[in-house]
Amino acid sequence: MFAGMPGKLPWVVTLMLWIPGSRGNAKLIVEQLQIALVLRLSGGRLLPIQLWSWNRVGGRELMAALVERYRTSLRSPADYTEAEARALAVLFALNRIIAVT
């Protein structure tokens, strides 16, 4: 399990960081990507989870329980392979299974 998404941002978020009216939204997206957890599934699949929002009932507790349970196998975003980083560098990668090709 990884703590955080890879450092490579989706191109749309990078563009938003340069547009003054969109910087606030872009910073919120970057924050969500940093606190996400990514589970490495079988078959070359990844499951990024970000349930920290106020509207995700029980999401914070679930994420805290996952971190506690897998604390010994928690990895840094620097440990992603290039293919995994590329697969996760899409805007809507959170809370859905991503195939690594």
**Residue 62 structure tokens:** 């679930």
Q: Is the pLDDT of residue 101 over 80?
A: no
Q: What is the 3-state secondary structure (H, E, C) of 9-36?
A: CCHHHHHHHHCHHHHHHHHHHHHHHHHC
Q: Is the pLDDT of residue 100 over 70?
A: yes
* pTM of the full structure: 0.77
Domain ranges of the chain: 2-99
Mean pLDDT of 46-62: 84
Cβ partners under 8 Å of residue 50, min gap 6: 32, 33, 35, 36, 37, 94, 95
Residue 78, classified by CB atoms within 10 Å of its CB into exposed (0-12), middle (13-18) or buried (19+), is exposed
